[in-house]
């Protein structure tokens, strides 16, 4: 990439970079997004996968963030009903952690801070009568239920990249920014991809490098100070076990240390348990779930579950690094704000660099709008906000009714096993028909792999979603890797996928 300059270079293909690229391109800017690895290969693949208001943030009086996040649940349900759906949470009473009155007050606020259309209200429940009680210790009688939303985080990133691309943005994966030089009017970024070096000239740089944001800011020397000081890295880990019997809802368990731990239904056959808050200072790329974190999560879940879990039950574990906004007055990493902060620097001569610090998957769209608001003075004639009412690719399901849409698919593709069709519909929404294409019988889908993946879908992901390795396909575009791992055939599945990828 050489020659003329573009309006915006977005560094980082996580949810925030992809969201900004889509918003900016749709408002008429020329945009290039560069990601050093695969899309969503940083923190955005390792979240708890919730579009949530964040009930516990109320305890830290983060009303602005909670209101915005609660509102986004409804927006995202409309925009992407294939990868976002309502999830009921059960919060059993826990002696000595929080009083019922305090929880009731928190849930009242949660119900009323933002308009709800499709999200039901919270209520008190009897765990002896409610089916959710089956997974819990039999002496647990009382609790509450409330609703948030589930999201496939890695696919949310890819769908935003696709939206950006459909609006004219260039998406470059496996492309790393190694230097940033500010000129009078434009930045010159050095990009390294596949051993080759190129240059990209851009009026404005958006640093959306998440936990790497201080390192990217340091590439442009005059920006390093403010960002480095504002970023605090906090690791969070999850463990995955086979689906806990009876646990079809999400659970919010209060731990003895006052933290809360999620126990969530995951990928039809699994339960996801997380998370932890561990401050780190090393490279975000080295973050891994430690034995202590595993033990912590098992103990937190076992306080409430009817059938205790052990280390032997764990089929997968992963860790991600939260790029949080530092606050000198706050020691406890769980208490650090999950809100975002934008640092605009170096714009005296017309070129600018905007660094994103913090943020959540839930609020990425609002964050992108805030970025556009900050950059608007630099781009006279910038188009208006547009993303709230625009479905993400595959999200144009009539009335957002995924169940009805699925019924139609079952009639149309009666030859396909329903679990495979469901997996396709969840991943691609209305795009499932493009994946199936001219296939008329199961054999036409090619080799069948775990998790409803087929050779035909692998080829589609390579052609349309920037997937270039087996890992991209098995762990981010799909979770087929997890299904293969569960069956002890992870390596065989990976090599089948590799064989389907051109030049892999």
* Site residues (vs ligand FAD, CB under 6 A): 11-17, 34-37, 41-44, 46-50, 52, 176-177, 208-212, 216, 236, 274-275, 320-323, 359-362
Residue with tokens 């999850």: 238
Q: Using an 8 Å Cβ cutoff, are 195 and 216 in contact? A: no
Provide, rounded to whole angstroms, the least separation between the CB of residue 353 and ligand FAD: 13
Token digits for 104? Answer: 């009731």
Nearest to 136 by CA among 92, 191, 86: 92
Provide, rounded to whole angstroms, the least separation between the CB of residue 252 and ligand FAD: 12
Provide, rounded to whole angstroms, the least separation between the CB of residue 354 and ligand FAD: 13
**Quick one: 145 or 207, whose CB is closer to ligand FAD?**
207
Provide, rounded to whole angstroms, the least separation between the CB of residue 287 and ligand FAD: 8
Provide, rounded to whole angstroms, the least separation between the CB of residue 482 and ligand FAD: 17
d(CA 133, CA 151): 24
**Quick one: 36 or 165, whose CB is closer to ligand FAD?**
36
How many alpha carbons fall within 13 Å on the CB side of residue 102? 11
Residue with tokens 């409309």: 78
Q: Per this entry, what is the length of the chain?
A: 504
d(CA 467, CA 79): 23
Provide, rounded to whole angstroms, the least separation between the CB of residue 272 and ligand FAD: 10
**Quick one: 264 or 480, whose CB is closer to ligand FAD?**
264
End-to-end, the C-alpha distance of the chain in Å comes to 24
Token digits for 134? Answer: 């089956």
Provide, rounded to whole angstroms, the least separation between the CB of residue 371 and ligand FAD: 12
**Quick one: 281 or 348, whose CB is closer to ligand FAD?**
281
Query: Helix, strand or coil for residue 294?
Result: helix
d(CA 413, CA 442): 10
**Quick one: 92 or 211, whose CB is closer to ligand FAD?**
211
**Quick one: 275 or 351, whose CB is closer to ligand FAD?**
275
**Quick one: 194 or 502, whose CB is closer to ligand FAD?**
194
Provide, rounded to whole angstroms, the least separation between the CB of residue 485 and ligand FAD: 20
Peptide bond into 97 cis (omega under 30): no
Task: State the DSSP code for 44.
Answer: G
DSSP states along 404-465 = HHHHHHHHHTTTS-HHHHHHHHHHHGGGHHHHHTT--SGGGG-SB-GGG-BHHHHHHHHHHS
Provide, rounded to whole angstroms, the least separation between the CB of residue 340 and ligand FAD: 8
d(CA 142, CA 140): 6
Q: How buried is residue 385: exposed, middle or buried, by Cβ count under 10 Å (0-12/13-18/19+)?
A: middle
**Quick one: 271 or 362, whose CB is closer to ligand FAD?**
362
**Quick one: 325 or 424, whose CB is closer to ligand FAD?**
325
Token digits for 259? Answer: 């933290």
Token digits for 130? Answer: 């409610």
Q: How buried is residue 50: exposed, middle or buried, by Cβ count under 10 Å (0-12/13-18/19+)?
A: buried
Provide, rounded to whole angstroms, the least separation between the CB of residue 413 and ligand FAD: 32
**Quick one: 12 or 481, whose CB is closer to ligand FAD?**
12
Phi/psi for 435 (5° steps) reads: -65, -45
Provide, rounded to whole angstroms, the least separation between the CB of residue 207 and ligand FAD: 9
**Quick one: 359 or 452, whose CB is closer to ligand FAD?**
359
């Amino acid at each position: 990439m050489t020659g003329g300059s573009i309006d915006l270079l977005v560094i980082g293909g996580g949810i925030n970079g992809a969201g900004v690229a889509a918003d900016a391109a749709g408002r008429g800017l020329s945009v290039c997004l560069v990601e050093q690895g695969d899309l969503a290969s940083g923190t955005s693949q390792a979240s708890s996968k919730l579009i949530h208001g964040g009930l516990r943030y109320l305890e830290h009086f983060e009303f602005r963030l909670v209101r915005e996040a609660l509102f986004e649940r409804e927006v995202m349900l409309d925009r992407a009903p294939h990868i976002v759906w309502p999830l009921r949470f059960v919060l059993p009473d826990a002696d000595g952690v929080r009083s019922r009155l305090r929880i009731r007050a928190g849930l009242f606020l949660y119900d009323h801070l933002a308009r709800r259309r499709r999200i039901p209200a919270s209520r008190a429940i009897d765990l002896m009568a409610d089916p959710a009680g089956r997974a819990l210790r039999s002496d647990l009688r009382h609790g509450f239920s409330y609703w948030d939303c589930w999201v496939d985080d890695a696919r949310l990133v890819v769908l935003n990249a696709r939206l950006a691309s459909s609006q004219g943005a260039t998406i470059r994966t496996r492309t790393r920014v190694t230097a940033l030089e500010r000129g009078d009017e434009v930045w010159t970024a050095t990009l390294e991809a596949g051993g080759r070096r190129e240059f990209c000239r851009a009026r404005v740089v958006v640093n959306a490098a998440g936990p790497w944001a201080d390192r990217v800011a340091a590439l442009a020397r005059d920006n390093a100070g403010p960002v480095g000081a504002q970023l605090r890295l906090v690791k969070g880990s999850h463990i995955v076990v086979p689906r806990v019997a009876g646990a079809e809802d999400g659970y919010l368990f209060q731990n003895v240390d006052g933290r809360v731990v999620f126990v969530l239904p995951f990928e039809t056959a699994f339960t996801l348990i997380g998370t932890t808050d561990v401050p780190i200072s090393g490279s975000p790329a080295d973050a891994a779930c430690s034995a202590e974190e595993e033990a912590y999560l098992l103990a937190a879940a076992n306080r409430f579950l009817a059938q205790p879990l052990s280390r032997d039950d764990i089929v997968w574990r992963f860790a991600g690094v939260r790029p949080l906004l530092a606050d000198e007055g706050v020691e406890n990493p769980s208490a650090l704000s999950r809100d975002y902060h934008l640092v605009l620097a170096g714009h005296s001569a017309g070129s600018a660099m905007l660094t994103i610090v913090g943020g959540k998957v839930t609020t990425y769209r609002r964050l992108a709008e805030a970025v556009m608001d900050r950059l608007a003075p630099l781009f006279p004639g910038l188009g208006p906000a547009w993303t709230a009412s625009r479905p993400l690719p595959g999200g144009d399901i009539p009335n957002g009714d995924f169940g009805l849409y699925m019924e139609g698919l079952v009639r149309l593709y009666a030859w396909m096993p329903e679990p495979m069709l469901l997996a396709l519909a969840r991943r691609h929404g209305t795009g499932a028909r493009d994946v199936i294409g001219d296939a008329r019988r199961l054999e036409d889908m090619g080799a069948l792999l775990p998790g409803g993946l087929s050779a035909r879908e692998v080829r589609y992901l390579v052609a349309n979603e920037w997937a270039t390795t087996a890992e991209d396909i098995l762990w981010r575009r799909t979770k087929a890797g997890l299904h293969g791992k569960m069956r002890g055939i992870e390596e065989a599945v990976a090599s089948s996928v590799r064989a389907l990828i051109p030049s892999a």
